[in-house]
Chains A and B, each alone.
Chain A
């Protein structure tokens, strides 16, 4: 039954996108709104149906095939959709949160001239994201993977008439392409190892690998896949594009650069979890990269003045936690954090967007202040999101982050310590943001006087997301809290298997350990959050004083450790230099100069020279003949 309708789940937004692109300007904003919202909502409804159909299906999965995309020799890639516990939840998140953000965008973008262009890209994004999630094979997943990158590029560069937005879009695309190379190489290696690129076949074969199979090749494959994940999910070393990506409209930051696209790296690894489990080296790399990113990005978020930049670094940092969870073989925990983070981070971004909208495009935290009373809905929903992200007991972020930290501790206490330090920073910068924006005095009176709460199209999504942010944790209530850690059971058919069972706490650690770790991290987060709030609700004075006392530290943090400058100096500039050298030295001088034009010139000069003997004077020819005769005579008679 689902076979007839399931393909519409990704295709409907695609049709919507085509409508906006081809007819949007003529049809008017109302028609665009209806089509944009309608297609995504329809996708959500169909995803819901598919979700239950998959739940009822044998093995909790539906495999739907719609013909071949490529079939060459051994390489067969069908157009196939898979609904299993992992992908059907993800499809719900994408279409559900996607629909809310489409609604929010209606209010946020209404004044824009490029309204139709915006929704053309946004609907296209939903199409590609759903393809990524539902695709049955890695190449199809890659279609979505590169496609969401394209939409991200187009939406970051949405304000095309500016200098910075196109540059940020280009940067995002290129950093993602570096990751995509990894993914391409990973696919080649997996195809070489398994002879197929269909995910279910790879997983089936991975379970029956012969010992003599080269695990080195698999390690290469998973490492390369992880490289791909660092690109899309903004991890060290490819995180640099995400903060710049904030140049796009704020709803885009919420949907693409917080809730959905940036989590596709985690999704990819969850999809291939059985292969990753076979390569412990890769898992360790994943864990340490995640932990390092979690802390590193959190420190960069400490002193950002742009409200969206704070949230951007926060996203990079939170994605780090997800990878930390995966690296500790806690695939369910990592995915739970994807799920909870999608709600509260989308909420934070939309809240920030509401503030920016209310202040008429003011993004500087130092120019805000005292908005608590003026924007009550925005304020209260953001408080909820902040409590979630800092891990306040009982909120969704608390359950997911604590599970990750616990597993990290089991893998290595050092990982846990790094994660804990990151959590302390998180609570601090979030309450700094809240204090600067909503408490204290208004620092820009002109903006403050004109500030207003946003229209219902924007506040309704805030409220719904806030409910979701609080409720999302229900899936992950751990056993020691009397829960069942439901997410793991739910995902079991898709990602859990064999030797590693992340959820079997009792066998690995004790209840006392779990309670202890939980207590430590909660205390740290609460103290640090309180510190941030109490400093910054009074204004910016103490940060300015701190900057004066520690100029070096402050500058290094505020300038993001100068990594961008380093990349420019040590990677981009040398590449351009080599490219120029290749062109000038090789093409112009060696091949064309020495290889082509030099022989040409020699021939011409030789020709000119010999031509000069043709003087047309008989006496010269006579002299030549005489010399020639003498020479020949001498040669013959010698």
Chain B
């Protein structure tokens, strides 16, 4: 009975199943935390299973759309709002990544939350609804609602289950994001009012009739909200605090999926609706991205806390994503698509690993460690592989993304693409510097002589549960590095079409690499 309904409302099911599951779990008494956790993992796994069974079988339809749900919902300020969900090349793998990471993260942090763990897991499920909804929503108002809905669970996860500075971090996270999205809401309503629709295609047509200055202004408002989420330099300072204070699971999801919503917003909405303005500001975006790459890496190098180091590395890696998008070439944008997934897998894995060592040693200071490899060889091997992926070693996922982005940037047409590409390679060097320097200080060398140091609390290597969590991530790291085409095939045509529509002001095609013979 339920199957036919599910087949016709597949995305609705995927989006709201976690919410329903989470809402039920909230009713559980605190004493039953273990049971609640178990049910949460089972719920998230069920969502993953449904996605894995159903989504890969979908045949590609018109314009690469794999699945569509569309219905009139209500009318706001005279503009009809649609309940419009779709799965296509742009969001397919991000959806998969989300449903994959949530149960994995729950398993990976099974014992990390000491109090009210059941509630935290319930919040996670609600967060999953927000993320999946935002990923598949096509109607901009619907997207906005999901976008804001993601905020609350994350706010509570940081503010309640976070570290010692959790209140500051949670407030900062909230205020940064809200500041961006309020301005964006105004721009959104203005554009929708002019278009008479919240559909991006209609809005794009309406945008072409607007004066260039207005288009530019609206694009900036959109870009600001998305750039804060990414986060793009200099709007990034909420991220290190949020990451450092958030519980491990929060950091994993934040890095793994939440940040991607920012760059995804550029690809899905900001650039297609305002292609001219996007081409106009591509150079500026690329400049900020390049600065983010180098700056994030430099600051990461000086961190004394492993988690904060990984947090700043996110600024640098997301800079690569934005650089690829700003290049407005097929090669660069596809690289950015891949890099989004890469960063989700690698940085997610890094945060999980940092969580594992923190659970044992109750410290994350680099100086508290030394010689960890001698005590935890299995953990060290996993950490090394993920580190290599993070620094973009070829045949791991990191390389394919960065390489495409750099080549795409070199081809881009905003005048100084070559310079940007060359500067961005510095990020590749610095990533090796901060990651391997940290690796050397934590894992190699003689054991830390201080008997109170973190190293001396590491009496147990990874448990089978932890190994089971890491194995799929490592498998993905190699798969994405050796056969990136699996993850690129869906999106290429869609990316190419979106870029071809983007006409730069002087009439040259914005998909610059179409010029390469």
Contacts and interface: CB of A to CB of B under 8 A. Distances in A.
Interface of A: 21, 68-75, 139, 142-143, 146-147, 150, 153, 157, 160-163, 165-167, 169-170, 173-174, 177-178, 180-181, 184-185, 187-189, 191-192, 195, 575-576, 578-580, 582-583, 586-587, 591-592, 595-596, 600
Nearest to B437: A170
Interface string B401-421: 001101110110000001001
Contact of B445 (A21, A74, A160): A160
Contacts of A595: 234, 237
Interface string B314-346: 000000000000000111001100000000000
19 contacts: A69-B483, A70-B404, A72-B488, A73-B330, A74-B513, A153-B436, A157-B440, A161-B445, A163-B445, A163-B446, A169-B440, A181-B425, A582-B299, A583-B298, A586-B295, A591-B234, A591-B237, A592-B237, A595-B234
B425 A146 contact: no
A596 B407 contact: no
A142 B400 CA distance: 12
Closest 4 CB pairs of A and B: A166-B444, A73-B330, A579-B298, A143-B394
B484 A150 contact: no
B154 to A, nearest CB: 18
Interface stretch (B105-113, B129-137, B426-434): B426-434
Identify the interface centre among A74, A147, A178: most chain B CB within 10 Å of its CB: A74
Contacts of A161: 371, 374, 445-447
A579 B309 CA distance: 13
B335 A72 contact: yes
Contact of A160 (B237, B428, B444): B444
Nearest to A157: B444
Q: Is the interface of B mostly helix, strand, loop or mixed?
A: helix
Nearest to A592: B237
B444 A188 contact: no
Contacts of A142: 394
A142 B394 CA distance: 8
A160 B394 contact: no
Nearest to B432: A177
A174 B418 CA distance: 24
Nearest to B388: A150
A189 B445 CA distance: 40
Identify the interface centre among B407, B447, B513: most chain A CB within 10 Å of its CB: B407
Contacts of B516: 74, 192, 195
B432 to A, nearest CB: 5
Contacts of A576: 301-302
B492 interface: yes
A146 B394 contact: yes
B172 interface: yes
A139 B395 CA distance: 10
Given A73-B330, A188-B406, A147 B425 contact: no
A188 B409 CA distance: 9
B206 interface: no
Instruction: Give the interface size class of chain B.
Output: 35 or more
B422 interface: yes
Interface string B298-316: 1101100000000000000
B331 A162 contact: no
Nearest to B499: A73
Nearest to A572: B433
Given A73-B330, A174-B433, A185 B299 contact: no
A139 B481 CA distance: 13
Contacts of A165: 444
A558 B152 CA distance: 64
B213 interface: no
Interface in B350-366: none
B234 A146 contact: no
A585 to B, nearest CB: 11
Interface string B436-476: 11001001111100000000000000000000000000000
A277 B331 CA distance: 30
Contacts of B429: 174, 177-178, 180-181
Interface in B382-403: 388, 393-395, 399-400, 403
Nearest to B515: A74
B501 interface: no
Given A157-B444, A161-B445, A579-B302, A181 B428 contact: yes
Contacts of A170: 436-437, 440
B376 interface: no
A153 B436 CA distance: 10
A379 B446 CA distance: 36
B172 A596 contact: yes
B428 A177 contact: yes
Given A163-B445, A578-B298, A583-B298, 16 more contacts: A73-B329, A73-B334, A75-B331, A150-B393, A161-B374, A161-B446, A174-B432, A185-B422, A185-B425, A188-B406, A188-B418, A192-B418, A195-B517, A582-B295, A595-B234, A595-B237
Given A147-B394, A160-B374, A184-B406, A71 B436 contact: no
B517 A147 contact: no
Contacts of B395: 143, 147
B32 interface: no
B20 interface: no
A139 B443 CA distance: 31
Interface in B263-284: none
A167 to B, nearest CB: 7
